[in-house]
Amino acid sequence: MKTALTIAGSDSGGGAGIQADLKAFSANGVYGMSVITAVTAQNTVEVRSVQDIDTDIIRDQIEAVFDDIQVDAVKIGMLSKPETIEVVIEGLKKYKPSFIVLDPVMVSKGGHHLLQPEAVEKLKELLPLATVITPNIPEAEVLTGLTITNLDDMKKACEKIYELGVKTVLLKGGHLNSEPNDLFYDGQTFHLIEGKRFYTKNTHGTGCTLSAAIAANLAKGMSLLDAVQKAKCYISVAIEHSLDLGHGHGPTHHFY
């Protein structure tokens, strides 16, 4: 069986982070493993508190997995602080996994910082190691300093992120008012990955789920563009069937 590893934060509410990733891995037919970088006390309404995991234990988790088990793809989510990013870079350079999907998680829907603002520069050191990076509009604005309001701006942002040393950019357009179309850029060609908007408040964990599904598809041997297109279909249906759990933003549904 093909395998995928998520390096990310835990969401006690089960909708985002490690929990979303492992569900998406299972639903997409790969064996999921996890390296936990932070524990969030969280539900559908808010992130109440965050405990970063000691870097020694993060390093040990990475080594325990890679020393024993074949890892076909890695997905990276919440990294919280510069020291965590450093340990993850070390691990990736040591084990050189074939595919790395980097979701540059920065701020939760409720406004809680999941990446310390001062860690953004450190995050840029991780970019050249990624097969693909999957920023949403606010994350792309932080990475590029641009204001993004339309498809032209998205193209400029893709080019600017590519110049940071990333192999491929998937810029997610869901935060714009238009249809939630994403832009895929590999340094040569732009591909528009079209989506349909579902009017629901239950969108907690959509970014995590999409990047985990891309990693699962890469682990299964799909080309990158195929992996992204299939993952986009997967997240669209997962949002269409999202769950009205809790009192805030309910989670996407993996096993509809």
Q: What are phi and psi of 233, to 5 degrees?
A: -60, -45
**What is the DSSP secondary structure assignment for residue 39, as one 8-state letter?**
E
246 in catalytic set: no
For residue 77, which of 24, 30, 128, 115 has the smallest C-alpha distance? 115
Region of 138-146, 202-210, 212-220, 233-241 interacting with ligand PLP (CB under 6 A): 202-210
156 in catalytic set: no
Residue 28 sits in the site that holds ligand PLP (CB under 6 A): no
Residue 204 sits in the site that holds ligand PLP (CB under 6 A): yes
How is residue 107 written in tokens? 């701020």
Residue nearest ligand PLP (C-beta atom): 17
The residue from 3, 6, 34, 40 that contacts ligand PLP (CB under 6 A) is 40
Neighbours of 146 (CB within 10 A): 15
Residue 8 sits in the site that holds ligand PLP (CB under 6 A): yes
The residue from 3, 6, 17, 235 that contacts ligand PLP (CB under 6 A) is 17
Residue 254 sits in the site that holds ligand PLP (CB under 6 A): no
CA distance readout (Å), 226 to 38, 101, 109, 186, 236: 31, 14, 29, 13, 15
- Cα gap 178→155, rounded to integer Å: 15
For residue 107, which of 150, 76, 82, 137 has the smallest C-alpha distance? 137
Residue 174 sits in the site that holds ligand PLP (CB under 6 A): no
Which residue among 208, 220, 250, 252 is the active-site one?
208
How is residue 251 written in tokens? 């989670």
Residue 205 sits in the site that holds ligand PLP (CB under 6 A): yes
Please answer whether residues 71 and 4 qualify as being in contact, where contact means their C-beta atoms are separated by less than 8 angstroms.
Answer: yes
206 in catalytic set: yes
Residue 104 sits in the site that holds ligand PLP (CB under 6 A): no
32 in catalytic set: no
Least Cβ distance, residue 192 to ligand PLP (angstroms): 23
Segments in 40-117 forming alpha helices (H): 55-68, 82-95
Residue 224 sits in the site that holds ligand PLP (CB under 6 A): no
Q: Provide CB contacts within 8 A for 87, sequence distance 6+.
A: 55, 58, 59, 62
14 in catalytic set: no
Q: How many residues bind ligand PLP (CB under 6 A)?
A: 19
Residue 207 sits in the site that holds ligand PLP (CB under 6 A): yes
Which residue among 3, 206, 209, 252 is the active-site one?
206
- Chain contacts with ligand PLP (rule: CB under 6 A): 8-9, 11, 16-17, 40, 42, 77-78, 105, 108-109, 114, 204-208, 249
